[in-house]
Amino acid sequence: MIQERINKIAKEAESSLSSVQTTADLELWEVKYLGRKSELNEILKGLRDMTPDEKKIIGPLGNTTKQTLFRIFEEAKNTLAEKSIDWEKERIDVTAPGTLHTFGHLHPITLLENEVQDIFSSMGFTIADGPELETEHNNFDALNFPADHPARDMQDTFWLEEDKKSKEHHLLRTQTSTVQVRFMEANKPPFRVIVPGKVFRNEATDASHEFAFHQFECLMVGNEGEVTVATFKYVAETFFSQFFGKHVDVRLRPSFFPFTEPSFEFDISCIICDGKGCSACKQTGWLEIGGAGMVNQKVFEAVGYKRGKYQGFAWGFGLTRLAMMKYKIADIRLLMSSDLRFIRQF
Ligand code: DAH
């Protein structure tokens, strides 16, 4: 009796499913035949009051019927979903031209930094860096800028507002030379290291001045007598010749920096006219590059080295300026602007 009822439900469900046309109809069908209050479910709920013999037959039959109904329901659902797809809309025109995807790339200054790092790595130098927000100690004191000395005014400084209680003054570093102090405090000679990095100067901007630009520091120290001015000249000539892809001469002129003694300004032979004289070098045959010198023993003392034990050279210059020379950029401000028309040329 119950068996027949179940078989009847199954037949009826199958035939009524074949006439279902819409999702709404399908939902009604689901409630009627698979829902909690469906006839089949009611029968299955009554199982517990049946005799063991009845249970043995009705239980499996009820369950397989339920599974079958569920399966045909799923099939009908898929068929309906497929029917509702607008194939015309889905059509892909494989002959249509594609969309152009633009890719980002490295900034010219970064490209240059990488190039400089490659050349120095090949000469056995390692690369160091330090924070842009620095202490007055690392930017000035340890580099032998005496307090209230006019040399501090050579570099207009962005100072941070300090808590009255703070003992240390902070600033945006005006030079990558700060990393000389950090590096030497943590390492003992001999070593050779370069430091590319961003520096800040509190000054008005024009075609050749920016308040933020990139510098590049070089520091090589060995035992007394091992690293000399001649070593500096050799390293500088090797670097610039590789960088510009042709032989470049380096010349030194006497100068002053608190952290070097003796100190020099150094020039390279003009890369445009090869030293003959042109408008780029103002007919002198030389291009000014940066500052250099033998590390002042007072700096060695400030980082905890014994006076007279070590000897080495340091140099520093604007990487930004080098980029301008290499790429013939007339206005420094272009390099830090976000003008994509400019950036995309690299
Ligand atoms: N720090 C100096 C500046 O920003 C450049 C410089 C000069 C760095 C001489 C050096 C050096 O390492 O020896 O003007």
Has residue 84 been placed in a domain? yes
Residues 177, 54, single domain; the answer is: no
- Rounded to the nearest angstrom, the distance between the alpha carbon of 198 and the centre of ligand 1 is 14
- What's the distance, CA 208 to chain centroid? 27
Residue to mutate, 156, 317, 320, 321, ligand 1, most ligand atoms under 8 Å from C-beta: 317
Give the model's pLDDT for residue 227.
Answer: 97
Residues 220, 313, single domain; the answer is: yes
Give the model's pLDDT for residue 148.
Answer: 81
| Last residue in a domain, options 61, 90, 119 | 90
Has residue 224 been placed in a domain? yes
Q: Is the pLDDT of residue 337 over 90?
A: no
Q: Which of 90-94, 141-145, 291-295 has the lowest mean pLDDT?
A: 90-94
Q: Name the H helices within 164-310.
A: 178-186, 229-244, 297-302
Q: How many domains does the chain have?
A: 2
- Rounded to the nearest angstrom, the distance between the alpha carbon of 67 and the centre of ligand 1 is 83
CATH code (residue 244): 3.30.930.10
DSSP state, 49?
Answer: G
Quote the CA–CA distance of 126 and 225 in Å, as a whole number: 22
Residues 166, 123, single domain; the answer is: yes
Tokens representing residue 273 in the block: 């006219």
For the stretch 264-287, pLDDT in tens is 999 999 988 998 998 888 999 999
Has residue 98 been placed in a domain? no
Which residue, judged by its Cα, is nearest atom 13 of ligand 1? 292
Residue to mutate, 172, 195, 257, ligand 1, most ligand atoms under 8 Å from C-beta: 257
Rounded to an integer, the average pLDDT of 63-83 is 92
Q: Is the CB of 316 under 6 A from ligand 1?
A: yes
Has residue 99 been placed in a domain? no
Residues 162, 236, single domain; the answer is: yes
The neighbour count for residue 278, using CB atoms within 10 Å, is: 14
Residues 136, 283, single domain; the answer is: yes
Residues 187, 311, single domain; the answer is: yes
The neighbour count for residue 151, using CB atoms within 10 Å, is: 15
Quote the CA–CA distance of 326 and 277 in Å, as a whole number: 18
Q: Name the H helices within 19-145.
A: 23-34, 39-45, 52-83, 87-90, 108-122, 136-139
| Last residue in a domain, options 90, 120, 147 | 90
Domain that holds residue 260: 108-343
Residues 174, 85, single domain; the answer is: no
Has residue 152 been placed in a domain? yes
Has residue 100 been placed in a domain? no
**Bridge partner residues of 265 (DSSP):** 253, 291
For the stretch 115-153, pLDDT in tens is 999 999 999 999 999 999 999 999 999 999 988 877 677
Q: Which of 161-165, 198-202, 308-312 has the lowest mean pLDDT?
A: 161-165
Q: Whole-prediction pTM value?
A: 0.71
Residue to mutate, 220, 315, 321, ligand 1, most ligand atoms under 8 Å from C-beta: 315
Residues 57, 130, single domain; the answer is: no
Give the model's pLDDT for residue 174.
Answer: 95
Has residue 101 been placed in a domain? no
Quote the CA–CA distance of 163 and 38 in Å, as a whole number: 77
Residues 328, 202, single domain; the answer is: yes
Cis peptide before 190 (omega within 30 of 0): yes
The neighbour count for residue 134, using CB atoms within 10 Å, is: 24
Rounded to an integer, the average pLDDT of 198-213 is 91
Has residue 304 been placed in a domain? yes
Q: Is the pLDDT of residue 237 over 90?
A: yes
Residues 83, 9, single domain; the answer is: yes
Give the model's pLDDT for residue 164.
Answer: 81
Residues 55, 133, single domain; the answer is: no
The neighbour count for residue 227, using CB atoms within 10 Å, is: 23
- pLDDT tier, 239 (very low <50, low <70, confident <90, very high otherwise): very high
Quote the CA–CA distance of 107 and 112 in Å, as a whole number: 9
Looking from the CA of residue 176, the nearest atom of ligand 1 is: 1
Give the model's pLDDT for residue 281.
Answer: 87
